[in-house]
Homo-oligomer: A and B are copies of this chain.
Amino acid sequence: MEYDAYIQTCPTRMVLDRLADKWAVLVLGRLDDKPVRFNQLKREIDGISQKVLSQVLKKLERDGLVSRKVFATVPVTVEYAITPLGRTLSATVDALRRWAEDNIETVLAAQQKYDRAAE
């Protein structure tokens, strides 16, 4: 019953490693609004490769954060949706993305100051 991400062997560490991932944050952020199809996700998440997207989705599905639904249309439609468990997380990962967007200018300024001081 003692879970602590600061202990190397704790399974929490593995989960944290999966969530603390740029792509996972972006995927969960997109799915939070509504279910999205594979290629739609690929188009919306600029710069992600097909392989990485399918890997991330598979891992998120395995962790129970995302569900996969196949429609027998033609061509086959596959829709990814956030699960109730994933929804308990989405606010947090979204806050991370929003922090980055809100504070990017401050961070860039800090970087420039740091780089100037190093010269």
A residues near B, CB below 8 A? Answer: 3-8, 11-13, 15-17, 19-22, 24-26, 29-30, 44-47, 61-65, 85, 88-89, 92-93, 95-97, 99-101, 103-104, 106-111, 113-115
Contacts and interface: CB of A to CB of B under 8 A. Distances in A.
Given A25-B20, A46-B8, A64 B107 contact: yes
A6 B16 CA distance: 22
A46 to B, nearest CB: 4
Q: Count copies of this chain in the complex.
A: 2
B4 A101 contact: yes
Contacts of A13: 22, 47
Contact of A114 (B12, B15, B64, B108): B64
